[in-house]
Amino acid sequence: MILGASTILLVAAIFFTGWRMAKKDKSNYAIALIVIGALLLRMFVAADPYFHDWDEQYHAMVAKNLVAHPWKPTLYEYPFLDYNYKDWSNNHIWLHKQPMALWLMALSIKVFGAFIWAVRLPSVLLSSISVLLTYHISRSLFDRKIAFFAAFLHAIHGLSIELAGGRVATDHIDTSFTFFIELGILCGLEFAKKPNFLWAILLGLSTGIAVLTKWLPGLIIFPIGFLFCWQSRIPFAKIVFWGIFIFLVSAAVFLPWQFYIMSAFPKEAQYEYFYNNIHLTKGVEGHAHPFYYHFNKMRMIYGELIYLPMIWLLWQLAKQVKPLNFKFLVLIVWIFIPYLFFSFAATKMQAYTLFTAPAIFIVTALFYYYVQEQKVKFKYSYLATLVGILLWVLPIRYSIERIKPFAKANKEKKAFVQSVQSLDIGHLDKSKTVIFNATYPIQMMFFTGVSAYAYLPEKAKIDALKQDGIEVLVWENGKIITSPPK
């Protein structure tokens, strides 16, 4: 509780100092402080002393196994019991997600060791740097005050912070995906200013890595990049040429992995592609929701007033059709194409649209300053003042609610991890040892390297394992016993 309160106060002081520097036109110092504040918030949430159930522990386990063999993603390294290769939570070859975020986590584990914080480090860093990318994109499209407010909203964004800390489903995958989408969009902006092979290659690499992080939604970079080129009055023929070149570069990044897994793990790969597609027509794993799910979630992710900036954005574009304001069109494409796509998809989860968040922060900042500039024209100016205040207060409130600075760690999980980390089983052959009845088997495997299951199989199976030379251990009351109970 003391740590949480101290963190909130420290970050608040950092943001306040940054805001004052921004007003004094010291933008470099201001944005540096905002990024530092964002980093501290993410580090605080990432300090949870155990892995979270969905989906972090699975991503962590696969990443750890990738350290030994980067081209063979596995969940159960040694599957002693029969498994269904279609069950991503209990199988051997694990292709449930594209590999880039997992490779980043594996690299961190390789460098720093198999620690919880090492698993979360890439997400904490990328999520914090994403705040800086939001600033630069906003500044390129509009101005510094818009950029600063948008970056602040990103820095305190509760869902982004939770995901970077692994607390909620899709965690590190969506965190990395958002970063690479923003990186691609920033490269698209620079390419439109100065079309050359260097920026084209960087744009293609960013897009390819985004696809290699969370598949085809990463291609949203292309229509946004097209709008940048259109605004820069690049001839259409050149846009086509560069578009083909950039796509080939991106395809050279994400296609080899697809060909490789289809060759090396054909049945698993075919099923995962099928499973991805079925998300469009069927609500899988209890995530079937009505069409308006994502639009309804907006108020819980960005604050209840978020609909006002969205309506204002559409109105601004409608009233400026001739000449068309491409900056507003970019924001509409970035936000509404993904929102509509995932609204039509039958399977829906709150973080699926996270990569639109930077655009939503920019629109919120635009609307805030529009209201402040226009409120003298309003008959009831106090309403405009109230709206402006709420555009600050509601995101801050949601941030604190999601960060949970005064909440205590789950005692059961914390005790389990501490008990597992203190086990003296390093001398055992990991390929010939199995632990049954583990409370949290995936976390048990991560910390021990030994295959673990949440239940006891039948005695016949245990006897068969022993006959094959497998050491059978049982987790009971926080300890390892060598003889399974009869």
DSSP line for 141-192:
HS-HHHHHHHHHHHHT-HHHHHHHTT-STTHHHHHHHHHHHHHHHHHHHHHH
pLDDT in tens, 199-247: 999 999 999 999 999 999 999 999 999 999 999 999 999 999 999 999 9
Share of the chain residues as helix, strand and coil, in percent rounded to the nearest 5: 70, 5, 25
Q: What is the mean pLDDT of residues 151-179?
A: 97
**Mean per-residue pLDDT for 41-64?**
96
Other Cβ atoms within 10 Å of 216 Cβ, number: 12
Query: What average pLDDT score do residues 319-326 get?
Result: 69
Region 399-413 average pLDDT: 92
φ, ψ (nearest 5 deg) of residue 424: -105, 75
pLDDT in tens, 75-98: 999 999 999 999 999 999 999 999
- From 6-10, 102-106, 373-377, 412-416, the region with the lowest mean pLDDT: 373-377
Residue 388: other Cβ atoms inside 10 A: 17
Instruction: Please list, in sequence order, all residues whose beta carbon lies within 8 angstroms of the beta carbon of residue 23, skipping any fewer than 6 positions away.
Output: none
User: How much is the average pLDDT of 397-401?
Assistant: 94
What pLDDT is stored for residue 430 in this prediction? Answer: 93
pLDDT at 484: 62
The residue to which tokens 């960087």 are assigned: 202
Is the pLDDT at 485 greater than 60? The verdict is no
Query: Which pLDDT belongs to residue 238?
Result: 96
Q: Which two tokens stand for residue 194?
A: 């100065």
State the pTM of this model: 0.96
- Using CB atoms within 10 Å of the CB of residue 190, give its burial: 0 to 12 exposed, 13 to 18 middle, 19+ buried: middle
* Both structure tokens of 381: 């100016």
pLDDT at residue 357 tops 80: yes
